Amino acid sequence: QQQVKQSPQSLIVQKGGISIINCAYENTAFDYFPWYQQFPGKGPALLIAIRPDVSEKKEGRFTISFNKSAKQFSLHIMDSQPGDSATYFCAARTQWEGNEKLTFGTGTRLTIIP
């Protein structure tokens, strides 16, 4: 129940296209859903995040779509660029009794081809 399922495992998109990565969860106690971008040799960097009372959030070329009833959320990268080639992780947070924890998806390796 603590899992976050992420798909696809890898994705190849042409430059200028839309990259879409999906995540699904079971635990309704998750209250915060961030997306991270990780380049080789670097730590994950927070891209964008959403709370479950919002269905969509957009920041520049990055959009999160959130479907609470389906327990799914997705990252859309518009006008994908070669510099977007990286591994992307979705995550979900639980909080309880003064504790908190992020549970990560398995990651998607995105490659943008010219």
Partner 1 sequence: SAVISQKPSRDICQRGTSLTIQCQVDSQVTMMFWYRQQPGQSLTLIATANQGSEATYESGFVIDKFPISRPNLTFSTLTVSNMSPEDSSIYLCSVEEYGYTFGSGTRLTVV
Q: What does the binding site for partner 1 look like in residue numbers (CB under 8 A)?
A: 34, 36, 41-46, 49, 89, 91, 99-107
- Whichever of 17 and 103 has its CB closer to partner 1, that residue is 103
CA triple 67-29-106, angle to 5 deg:
70
Least separation in angstroms between CB 113 and partner 1 = 21
Least separation in angstroms between CB 2 and partner 1 = 10
DSSP 64: E
- Whichever of 77 and 92 has its CB closer to partner 1, that residue is 92
Least separation in angstroms between CB 61 and partner 1 = 18
CA pair distance 59, 50, nearest whole angstrom: 11
DSSP 9: S
CA pair distance 4, 109, nearest whole angstrom: 16
- Whichever of 18 and 54 has its CB closer to partner 1, that residue is 54
